[in-house]
Amino acid sequence: MRKYAIWGTATSPAHEAWVQGIGKQFEQDGFQPVTDVAEADFVLNMFDPADPKAFRRSSRGTYSAAFYELPETPADVLKASYPMLVRTLSNVVLLRIPGAGVWFTTMERGTYHVPDDPAEIYERLEPLATSRLVIDNEWVPDLEPELWDGDEITEDIAAAGRRLDELDLLPSPFPVEEYLSGRDLRHVMRLYSVGGLSYGNLSARKDETRFWMSASGVDKSQLETVGRDLLMVKNFDDERGVIVLSVPPGIEPRRVSVDAIEHWMIYRAHPDVGAILHMHAWMEGIAATDVNYPCGTQELAVAVSDLVALEPDPAQAVIGLRNHGITCTGESLTEILDRVAPKVLRQVPMT
């Protein structure tokens, strides 16, 4: 049985009653309430925007939704809420304006507005609360010596990373540096091991079972070192929820992109796919996921892979990730960029 907890201090009795109402929705669906956040799979964290606090996670798999209230709608909701993500160390922040509704804000996806009905809030949060993160890595120092300095595939990935930089689509669909103070920006970079807040990822198939992929948080315009900027994904251990990587011996490796599980599923299901590109942009007229699952969850990977399978040509698909960006398949990264780059829109729709 999954467990949830309500934590923190509400700014008003109405605020507390509203959050408790969302908690009751979880209970109606079988979640067990607990008082100790260390036991919870999902935490509803109430906080005062003048003094936002984070609870101490006992597991990286614990999902945190943070709730605060303001009397009036800010001129820029994203600018008001985005720093709260960092200060409360949350996966999502919900700002409630009595009589006006609720704004969801997430680290990668920006913000979107919904009514403040607890049942609707629950419908938005439940898929996130029950999703399975696949973000742990196992590094095995067994990469073939002839690949320690890369190969023609890693050269293509590096070239594609430079082209992405020229498109000015990195690091995110909105100017994150304008929404965080210097202190908060440094905090994000330290927490998420991010260099330049360079979201997005690239991969290319090596053989039937393996593929090269960019590391998490690296500058996509400078993909140079195998084991640090570029990693060989060799397996997915489903039982443990771990991505297994081949690395050169004697190197301190980085983590692979959190979307490795998504790429793994697409490559396994579609042998004709030679490369995959994810970027924070959009295209008109594309199929898109219904739920904005967190990056790195198995549920998001399944949703995207299933949509790829429904395309007329899965080997040349463009799939939208709701409120986030697009994932593109192709023969190579060069082929994908030649086909997709002229059509992408910088603004990702938030719904």
Question: What does the pLDDT average to over 27-56?
Answer: 92
Q: Which two tokens stand for residue 216?
A: 């998490």
What does the pLDDT look like over 74-122, one tens digit per residue?
A: 999 988 998 898 888 888 999 999 999 999 998 666 688 999 999 999 9
pLDDT in tens, 293-314: 878 889 999 999 999 999 999 9
Confidence category of residue 230, pLDDT binned at 50, 70, 90:
very high
For 114-168, write each residue's pLDDT tens digit.
999 999 999 999 988 888 888 899 999 999 999 999 999 999 999 999 998 888 7
Q: Looking at residue 197, what is its pLDDT?
A: 44
If 0-12 CB within 10 Å is exposed, 13-18 middle and 19+ buried, where does residue 286 land?
middle
Spell out the domains of the chain, with CATH numbers in brackets: 3-129 (3.40.50), 136-343 (3.40.225.10)
Cα–Cα dist 30/32, whole Å: 6
Find out whether 204 and 275 touch, Cβ atoms under 8 Å: yes
Q: How many residues does the chain have?
A: 351
Residue 99: partners with Cβ closer than 8 Å, 6 or more residues away: none
Helix, strand, coil share (%) of the chain residues, nearest 5? 30, 25, 45
Q: What are phi and psi of 121, to 5 degrees?
A: -60, -45
Q: What is the pLDDT of residue 62?
A: 80
β-partners of residue 139 are 245
The tokens of 10 are what? 């509400």
